[in-house]
Protein backbone atom coordinates (compact mmCIF):
# COMPACT_ATOMS: atom_id res chain seq x y z
CA UNK A 1 0.00 0.00 0.00
CA UNK A 2 1.27 3.46 -0.92
CA UNK A 3 0.83 6.43 1.37
CA UNK A 4 -1.49 9.05 -0.05
CA UNK A 5 0.96 11.90 -0.70
CA UNK A 6 0.56 13.95 -3.87
CA UNK A 7 3.37 13.40 -6.35
CA UNK A 8 4.80 16.60 -7.86
CA UNK A 9 7.60 17.49 -10.24
CA UNK A 10 9.72 18.50 -7.24
CA UNK A 11 12.24 16.14 -5.69
CA UNK A 12 10.99 14.79 -2.38
CA UNK A 13 12.88 14.99 0.90
CA UNK A 14 11.45 12.69 3.57
CA UNK A 15 12.34 13.59 7.17
CA UNK A 16 11.84 10.96 9.86
CA UNK A 17 11.45 12.59 13.27
CA UNK A 18 10.18 16.00 14.35
CA UNK A 19 12.60 16.78 17.16
CA UNK A 20 14.96 19.75 17.15
CA UNK A 21 16.83 18.61 14.04
CA UNK A 22 13.86 17.34 12.04
CA UNK A 23 11.74 20.41 12.77
CA UNK A 24 14.59 22.79 11.93
CA UNK A 25 15.37 21.25 8.55
CA UNK A 26 11.67 21.13 7.63
CA UNK A 27 11.37 24.81 8.50
CA UNK A 28 14.54 25.70 6.58
CA UNK A 29 13.27 23.88 3.47
CA UNK A 30 9.64 24.98 3.73
CA UNK A 31 10.06 27.56 0.93
CA UNK A 32 12.57 25.60 -1.16
CA UNK A 33 12.24 23.84 -4.51
CA UNK A 34 11.76 20.50 -2.74
CA UNK A 35 8.65 18.69 -1.60
CA UNK A 36 9.12 18.03 2.12
CA UNK A 37 7.43 15.16 3.97
CA UNK A 38 7.83 15.15 7.75
CA UNK A 39 6.96 11.84 9.45
CA UNK A 40 6.62 11.53 13.22
CA UNK A 41 4.70 9.17 15.50
CA UNK A 42 3.23 12.23 17.24
CA UNK A 43 1.50 15.21 15.67
CA UNK A 44 3.49 17.66 17.78
CA UNK A 45 7.02 18.83 18.56
CA UNK A 46 8.25 18.25 22.11
CA UNK A 47 10.63 20.59 23.95
CA UNK A 48 12.78 17.96 25.60
CA UNK A 49 14.87 20.15 27.98
CA UNK A 50 11.75 20.88 30.04
CA UNK A 51 10.40 17.34 30.37
CA UNK A 52 11.53 17.34 33.99
CA UNK A 53 9.24 20.32 34.70
CA UNK A 54 6.25 18.33 33.45
CA UNK A 55 7.35 15.41 35.65
CA UNK A 56 7.54 17.67 38.72
CA UNK A 57 4.28 19.56 38.04
CA UNK A 58 5.98 22.81 37.06
CA UNK A 59 4.48 22.94 33.56
CA UNK A 60 1.63 21.27 31.73
CA UNK A 61 2.53 18.99 28.77
CA UNK A 62 0.74 21.34 26.35
CA UNK A 63 3.06 24.19 27.32
CA UNK A 64 6.12 22.45 25.90
CA UNK A 65 4.38 20.79 22.93
CA UNK A 66 3.36 22.40 19.66
CA UNK A 67 1.42 20.86 16.73
CA UNK A 68 3.36 20.45 13.48
CA UNK A 69 0.38 21.44 11.37
CA UNK A 70 0.15 24.78 13.17
CA UNK A 71 3.82 25.46 12.40
CA UNK A 72 3.44 24.67 8.68
CA UNK A 73 -0.10 25.95 8.07
CA UNK A 74 0.95 28.23 5.20
CA UNK A 75 3.70 26.02 3.78
CA UNK A 76 2.07 24.16 0.88
CA UNK A 77 5.12 22.06 0.00
CA UNK A 78 5.46 20.65 3.53
CA UNK A 79 3.38 17.53 4.21
CA UNK A 80 2.90 16.16 7.73
CA UNK A 81 2.21 12.47 8.30
CA UNK A 82 1.64 10.90 11.72
CA UNK A 83 2.96 7.35 11.39
CA UNK A 84 5.30 4.72 12.74
CA UNK A 85 8.31 4.06 10.50
CA UNK A 86 9.06 0.35 10.20
CA UNK A 87 11.88 0.07 7.70
CA UNK A 88 14.04 1.87 5.16
CA UNK A 89 14.42 0.32 1.70
CA UNK A 90 17.59 2.02 0.45
CA UNK A 91 17.60 0.06 -2.82
CA UNK A 92 14.16 1.29 -3.93
CA UNK A 93 14.32 4.66 -2.12
CA UNK A 94 11.28 3.90 0.01
CA UNK A 95 10.22 4.06 3.64
CA UNK A 96 7.79 1.46 4.97
CA UNK A 97 5.40 3.07 7.46
CA UNK A 98 2.13 2.34 9.27
CA UNK A 99 0.30 4.38 6.61
CA UNK A 100 1.99 2.69 3.66
CA UNK A 101 5.06 3.09 1.48
CA UNK A 102 6.57 6.58 1.16
CA UNK A 103 8.93 7.21 -1.75
CA UNK A 104 11.85 9.61 -1.44
CA UNK A 105 14.63 11.18 -3.47
CA UNK A 106 16.48 12.12 -0.29
CA UNK A 107 15.97 10.75 3.22
CA UNK A 108 16.86 12.56 6.45
CA UNK A 109 16.93 10.42 9.59
CA UNK A 110 16.36 12.55 12.71
CA UNK A 111 14.92 9.93 15.06
CA UNK A 112 16.98 10.96 18.07
CA UNK A 113 17.92 8.76 20.99
CA UNK A 114 16.09 6.79 23.66
CA UNK A 115 16.89 5.82 27.23
CA UNK A 116 19.72 3.34 27.67
CA UNK A 117 18.99 0.79 30.39
CA UNK A 118 22.23 -1.10 29.67
CA UNK A 119 20.43 -4.40 29.22
CA UNK A 120 18.88 -4.58 32.69
CA UNK A 121 15.35 -5.95 32.17
CA UNK A 122 14.06 -5.13 35.65
CA UNK A 123 15.23 -1.54 35.47
CA UNK A 124 13.71 -1.29 31.98
CA UNK A 125 10.35 -2.50 33.29
CA UNK A 126 10.23 -0.79 36.69
CA UNK A 127 12.06 2.54 36.38
CA UNK A 128 10.78 5.84 34.97
CA UNK A 129 12.63 7.45 32.06
CA UNK A 130 11.97 10.95 30.68
CA UNK A 131 12.46 10.90 26.92
CA UNK A 132 8.96 12.03 25.98
CA UNK A 133 6.10 14.16 27.29
CA UNK A 134 4.05 11.04 27.99
CA UNK A 135 6.88 9.48 30.04
CA UNK A 136 7.25 12.72 32.02
CA UNK A 137 3.51 12.76 32.71
CA UNK A 138 3.64 9.11 33.79
CA UNK A 139 6.38 9.98 36.28
CA UNK A 140 4.32 12.89 37.63
CA UNK A 141 1.38 10.56 38.15
CA UNK A 142 3.59 8.03 39.90
CA UNK A 143 5.06 10.55 42.35
CA UNK A 144 1.66 11.99 43.29
CA UNK A 145 0.01 8.57 43.53
CA UNK A 146 2.74 7.43 45.91
CA UNK A 147 2.00 10.29 48.31
CA UNK A 148 -1.70 9.50 48.20
CA UNK A 149 -0.84 5.90 49.12
CA UNK A 150 1.58 7.05 51.83
CA UNK A 151 -1.32 8.78 53.62
CA UNK A 152 -3.04 5.46 54.24
CA UNK A 153 0.07 3.30 54.72
CA UNK A 154 0.47 2.33 58.39
CA UNK A 155 3.81 0.54 58.04
CA UNK A 156 6.58 3.12 58.54
CA UNK A 157 9.13 1.38 56.31
CA UNK A 158 6.65 0.99 53.46
CA UNK A 159 5.68 4.64 53.81
CA UNK A 160 9.34 5.61 53.55
CA UNK A 161 9.65 3.51 50.40
CA UNK A 162 6.68 5.36 48.90
CA UNK A 163 8.12 8.77 49.78
CA UNK A 164 11.75 8.26 48.78
CA UNK A 165 12.81 9.09 45.20
CA UNK A 166 16.04 7.90 43.59
CA UNK A 167 17.40 9.58 40.46
CA UNK A 168 20.10 7.78 38.50
CA UNK A 169 22.38 9.89 36.30
CA UNK A 170 24.17 13.09 37.22
CA UNK A 171 23.82 14.84 33.86
CA UNK A 172 21.66 17.96 33.36
CA UNK A 173 18.37 16.01 33.51
CA UNK A 174 19.30 14.17 36.70
CA UNK A 175 20.58 17.32 38.40
CA UNK A 176 17.54 19.38 37.39
CA UNK A 177 14.92 16.85 38.45
CA UNK A 178 16.73 16.14 41.76
CA UNK A 179 16.93 19.83 42.63
CA UNK A 180 13.27 20.40 41.76
CA UNK A 181 12.14 17.41 43.84
CA UNK A 182 14.15 18.68 46.80
CA UNK A 183 12.45 22.07 46.52
CA UNK A 184 9.04 20.38 46.30
CA UNK A 185 9.88 18.50 49.50
CA UNK A 186 10.71 21.76 51.24
CA UNK A 187 8.05 24.17 50.03
CA UNK A 188 5.21 22.43 48.23
CA UNK A 189 4.45 18.83 49.20
CA UNK A 190 4.09 19.57 52.95
CA UNK A 191 1.24 21.96 52.09
CA UNK A 192 -0.60 19.26 50.16
CA UNK A 193 0.13 16.43 52.61
CA UNK A 194 0.34 17.97 56.12
CA UNK A 195 -0.33 14.55 57.67
CA UNK A 196 2.97 13.18 56.35
CA UNK A 197 6.33 13.62 58.03
CA UNK A 198 8.58 14.89 55.24
CA UNK A 199 11.70 14.24 57.29
CA UNK A 200 11.14 10.69 56.07
CA UNK A 201 11.35 11.71 52.42
CA UNK A 202 14.81 11.49 50.88
CA UNK A 203 15.90 12.45 47.37
CA UNK A 204 18.96 10.54 46.12
CA UNK A 205 21.07 11.34 43.07
CA UNK A 206 23.33 8.49 41.98
CA UNK A 207 26.18 9.15 39.54
CA UNK A 208 28.65 6.52 38.34
CA UNK A 209 31.50 8.99 37.73
CA UNK A 210 33.43 11.14 40.24
CA UNK A 211 31.32 14.26 39.59
CA UNK A 212 27.92 15.51 38.47
CA UNK A 213 27.55 17.41 35.17
CA UNK A 214 30.49 15.53 33.70
CA UNK A 215 30.27 17.37 30.36
CA UNK A 216 30.54 20.81 31.97
CA UNK A 217 33.43 22.66 33.58
CA UNK A 218 34.96 21.71 36.92
CA UNK A 219 33.53 24.87 38.47
CA UNK A 220 30.01 24.13 37.18
CA UNK A 221 30.20 20.58 38.49
CA UNK A 222 31.41 21.72 41.91
CA UNK A 223 28.80 24.46 42.21
CA UNK A 224 25.97 22.14 41.12
CA UNK A 225 26.93 19.61 43.77
CA UNK A 226 27.09 22.35 46.42
CA UNK A 227 23.61 23.56 45.44
CA UNK A 228 22.18 20.03 45.50
CA UNK A 229 23.68 19.28 48.90
CA UNK A 230 22.35 22.57 50.30
CA UNK A 231 18.88 21.61 49.06
CA UNK A 232 19.12 18.31 50.93
CA UNK A 233 19.76 15.96 47.99
CA UNK A 234 21.82 12.90 48.89
CA UNK A 235 24.47 12.92 46.14
CA UNK A 236 26.28 9.59 45.75
CA UNK A 237 29.23 9.73 43.34
CA UNK A 238 31.10 6.70 41.94
CA UNK A 239 27.88 4.77 42.60
CA UNK A 240 26.60 2.29 40.04
CA UNK A 241 23.20 0.65 40.14
CA UNK A 242 23.29 -3.12 39.99
CA UNK A 243 19.58 -3.93 40.11
CA UNK A 244 16.10 -2.81 41.15
CA UNK A 245 13.14 -4.87 42.36
CA UNK A 246 10.50 -2.14 42.55
CA UNK A 247 11.11 -1.46 46.24
CA UNK A 248 14.89 -1.32 46.61
CA UNK A 249 17.71 0.04 44.44
CA UNK A 250 20.75 -2.21 44.80
CA UNK A 251 24.15 -0.61 44.29
CA UNK A 252 27.42 -2.30 43.45
CA UNK A 253 29.03 -2.93 46.80
CA UNK A 254 25.85 -4.16 48.48
CA UNK A 255 24.10 -0.95 49.60
CA UNK A 256 20.31 -0.85 49.10
CA UNK A 257 18.12 2.25 48.99
CA UNK A 258 14.37 1.79 49.58
CA UNK A 259 12.20 3.50 47.00
CA UNK A 260 9.07 2.93 45.00
CA UNK A 261 10.19 5.50 42.40
CA UNK A 262 13.38 5.10 40.39
CA UNK A 263 13.97 7.88 37.83
CA UNK A 264 16.39 6.69 35.14
CA UNK A 265 18.44 9.42 33.45
CA UNK A 266 21.70 7.51 33.18
CA UNK A 267 22.32 7.36 29.46
CA UNK A 268 20.96 7.28 25.93
CA UNK A 269 21.19 5.02 22.92
CA UNK A 270 20.21 5.72 19.34
CA UNK A 271 16.69 4.75 18.28
CA UNK A 272 16.73 1.77 15.95
CA UNK A 273 15.60 1.87 12.34
CA UNK A 274 15.38 -1.35 10.33
CA UNK A 275 16.83 -1.60 6.84
CA UNK A 276 20.10 0.25 7.38
CA UNK A 277 23.38 -1.57 6.81
CA UNK A 278 24.60 -2.78 10.25
CA UNK A 279 28.08 -1.63 9.24
CA UNK A 280 27.01 2.03 9.55
CA UNK A 281 25.78 1.65 13.15
CA UNK A 282 28.46 2.90 15.52
CA UNK A 283 28.80 3.21 19.28
CA UNK A 284 25.62 3.73 21.32
CA UNK A 285 23.50 2.85 18.28
CA UNK A 286 24.36 6.05 16.41
CA UNK A 287 24.53 6.15 12.60
CA UNK A 288 27.96 6.98 11.17
CA UNK A 289 27.91 9.97 8.84
CA UNK A 290 30.47 12.11 6.99
CA UNK A 291 30.98 15.84 7.51
CA UNK A 292 27.98 16.58 5.27
CA UNK A 293 25.77 14.30 7.42
CA UNK A 294 25.56 11.73 4.64
CA UNK A 295 25.26 8.15 5.92
CA UNK A 296 28.41 6.25 5.07
CA UNK A 297 28.00 4.17 1.92
CA UNK A 298 24.90 6.03 0.81
CA UNK A 299 24.40 8.79 -1.76
CA UNK A 300 20.99 10.10 -0.68
CA UNK A 301 20.44 9.17 2.98
CA UNK A 302 21.41 11.60 5.74
CA UNK A 303 21.28 11.54 9.54
CA UNK A 304 21.34 14.51 11.93
CA UNK A 305 21.19 15.19 15.65
CA UNK A 306 21.46 12.63 18.44
CA UNK A 307 21.26 9.68 16.05
CA UNK A 308 24.22 10.90 13.93
CA UNK A 309 27.79 9.92 14.77
CA UNK A 310 30.12 12.43 13.13
CA UNK A 311 33.74 12.89 14.13
CA UNK A 312 35.84 16.00 13.84
CA UNK A 313 39.11 17.05 15.44
CA UNK A 314 37.54 18.49 18.60
CA UNK A 315 35.03 15.64 18.87
CA UNK A 316 36.80 12.37 17.99
CA UNK A 317 34.05 10.32 19.67
CA UNK A 318 31.18 12.25 18.10
CA UNK A 319 29.36 15.42 19.05
CA UNK A 320 27.48 15.85 22.33
CA UNK A 321 23.84 14.78 22.04
CA UNK A 322 22.33 18.20 22.65
CA UNK A 323 19.80 20.36 20.81
CA UNK A 324 22.34 22.81 19.42
CA UNK A 325 24.16 20.09 17.48
CA UNK A 326 20.91 18.94 15.86
CA UNK A 327 19.83 22.49 15.01
CA UNK A 328 23.19 23.47 13.54
CA UNK A 329 23.44 20.27 11.48
CA UNK A 330 19.88 20.77 10.22
CA UNK A 331 20.57 24.33 9.14
CA UNK A 332 23.71 23.37 7.21
CA UNK A 333 22.10 20.32 5.62
CA UNK A 334 19.19 22.50 4.44
CA UNK A 335 21.70 24.88 2.84
CA UNK A 336 23.45 21.93 1.23
CA UNK A 337 20.15 20.68 -0.20
CA UNK A 338 19.61 24.10 -1.73
CA UNK A 339 23.20 24.02 -3.07
CA UNK A 340 22.50 20.60 -4.61
CA UNK A 341 19.48 22.05 -6.36
CA UNK A 342 21.62 24.91 -7.68
CA UNK A 343 24.57 22.61 -8.55
CA UNK A 344 26.83 24.40 -6.07
CA UNK A 345 29.59 23.03 -3.84
CA UNK A 346 28.50 21.50 -0.54
CA UNK A 347 29.94 22.56 2.83
CA UNK A 348 31.19 20.37 5.64
CA UNK A 349 29.88 20.64 9.19
CA UNK A 350 31.82 22.02 12.15
CA UNK A 351 30.09 22.32 15.50
CA UNK A 352 30.15 25.71 17.17
CA UNK A 353 29.75 25.17 20.90
CA UNK A 354 27.48 27.94 22.17
CA UNK A 355 27.71 26.74 25.76
CA UNK A 356 25.78 24.56 28.18
CA UNK A 357 23.56 25.20 31.18
CA UNK A 358 21.76 23.42 33.98
CA UNK A 359 19.40 24.71 36.64
CA UNK A 360 19.53 23.20 40.11
CA UNK A 361 16.69 25.05 41.77
CA UNK A 362 15.27 28.42 42.67
CA UNK A 363 17.91 31.11 41.92
CA UNK A 364 20.48 28.38 41.38
CA UNK A 365 21.97 27.42 38.02
CA UNK A 366 25.31 26.94 36.30
CA UNK A 367 26.21 28.16 32.81
CA UNK A 368 29.33 27.52 30.75
CA UNK A 369 29.86 29.72 27.73
CA UNK A 370 32.96 29.85 25.50
CA UNK A 371 34.23 33.06 27.11
CA UNK A 372 32.33 33.27 30.39
CA UNK A 373 31.19 30.99 33.17
CA UNK A 374 28.41 31.86 35.60
CA UNK A 375 26.78 30.31 38.63
CA UNK A 376 23.94 31.33 40.90
CA UNK A 377 21.14 33.83 40.30
CA UNK A 378 22.51 35.40 37.10
CA UNK A 379 23.05 31.97 35.52
CA UNK A 380 19.48 31.07 36.54
CA UNK A 381 18.11 34.17 34.79
CA UNK A 382 20.08 33.33 31.63
CA UNK A 383 18.81 29.73 31.75
CA UNK A 384 15.21 30.89 32.11
CA UNK A 385 15.43 33.44 29.28
CA UNK A 386 17.09 31.07 26.79
CA UNK A 387 14.70 28.21 27.52
CA UNK A 388 11.69 30.49 27.44
CA UNK A 389 12.63 31.88 24.04
CA UNK A 390 13.37 28.40 22.69
CA UNK A 391 9.86 27.06 23.36
CA UNK A 392 7.86 26.87 20.13
CA UNK A 393 4.80 29.14 20.04
CA UNK A 394 4.13 32.57 21.55
CA UNK A 395 1.22 31.34 23.66
CA UNK A 396 3.32 28.50 25.05
CA UNK A 397 6.06 30.96 26.02
CA UNK A 398 3.51 33.16 27.77
CA UNK A 399 1.99 30.25 29.72
CA UNK A 400 5.44 29.00 30.73
CA UNK A 401 6.40 32.49 31.93
CA UNK A 402 3.15 32.84 33.92
CA UNK A 403 3.64 29.44 35.57
CA UNK A 404 7.25 30.22 36.45
CA UNK A 405 6.38 33.69 37.77
CA UNK A 406 3.49 32.32 39.86
CA UNK A 407 5.68 29.57 41.31
CA UNK A 408 8.44 32.05 42.10
CA UNK A 409 6.14 34.49 43.88
CA UNK A 410 3.98 32.00 45.77
CA UNK A 411 6.43 29.12 46.32
CA UNK A 412 3.66 26.93 44.96
CA UNK A 413 2.26 25.30 41.82
CA UNK A 414 -1.27 24.47 40.77
CA UNK A 415 -0.56 21.63 38.34
CA UNK A 416 -0.36 18.67 40.71
CA UNK A 417 -3.02 16.65 38.93
CA UNK A 418 -3.05 12.88 38.54
CA UNK A 419 -4.21 12.50 34.95
CA UNK A 420 -4.42 9.02 33.48
CA UNK A 421 -6.11 8.09 30.19
CA UNK A 422 -8.97 5.65 30.53
CA UNK A 423 -8.59 2.55 28.38
CA UNK A 424 -11.49 1.02 26.47
CA UNK A 425 -11.50 -1.93 28.87
CA UNK A 426 -12.21 0.47 31.74
CA UNK A 427 -15.28 1.88 29.99
CA UNK A 428 -18.38 -0.13 30.90
CA UNK A 429 -20.59 -1.58 28.14
CA UNK A 430 -23.54 0.42 29.53
CA UNK A 431 -21.60 3.67 29.10
CA UNK A 432 -20.50 2.73 25.58
CA UNK A 433 -24.08 1.99 24.52
CA UNK A 434 -25.60 5.10 26.10
- Give me the phi and psi of 383, to 5 degrees please: -60, -50
CA distance 198 to 211: 28
Q: How many residues does the chain have?
A: 434
Residue 304 contacts residue 319 (beta carbons within 8 Å): no
Marked catalytic residue, from 60, 176, 183, 207: 176
What 277-282 contacts at long range (C-beta under 8 Å, 24+ apart), as own/partner pairs, is 277/90, 282/309, 282/318
Residue 420, Cβ density class (10 Å: 0-12 exposed, 13-18 middle, ≥19 buried): exposed
Q: Is 157 a catalytic residue?
A: no
Count of CA atoms in the C-beta half-sphere (13 A) of 249: 25
Residue 360 contacts residue 227 (beta carbons within 8 Å): yes
- Give me the phi and psi of 109, to 5 degrees please: -95, 115
CA distance 49 to 34: 31
Q: Which residues belong to the active site?
A: 176
Amino acid sequence: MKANITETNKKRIVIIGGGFGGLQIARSLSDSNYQVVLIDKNNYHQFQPLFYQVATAGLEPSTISFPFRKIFQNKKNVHIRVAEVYKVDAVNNQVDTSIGIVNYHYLVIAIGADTNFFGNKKITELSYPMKSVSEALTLRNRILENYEKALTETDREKRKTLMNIVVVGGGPTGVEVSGTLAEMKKSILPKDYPELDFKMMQVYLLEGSPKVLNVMSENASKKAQEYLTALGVNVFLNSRVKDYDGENVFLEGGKAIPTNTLVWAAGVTGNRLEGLDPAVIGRAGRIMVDRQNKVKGSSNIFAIGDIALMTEEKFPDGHPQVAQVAIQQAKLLAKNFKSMDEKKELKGFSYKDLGSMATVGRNKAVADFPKWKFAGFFAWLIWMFIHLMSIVGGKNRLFAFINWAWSYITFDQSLRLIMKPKTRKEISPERMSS
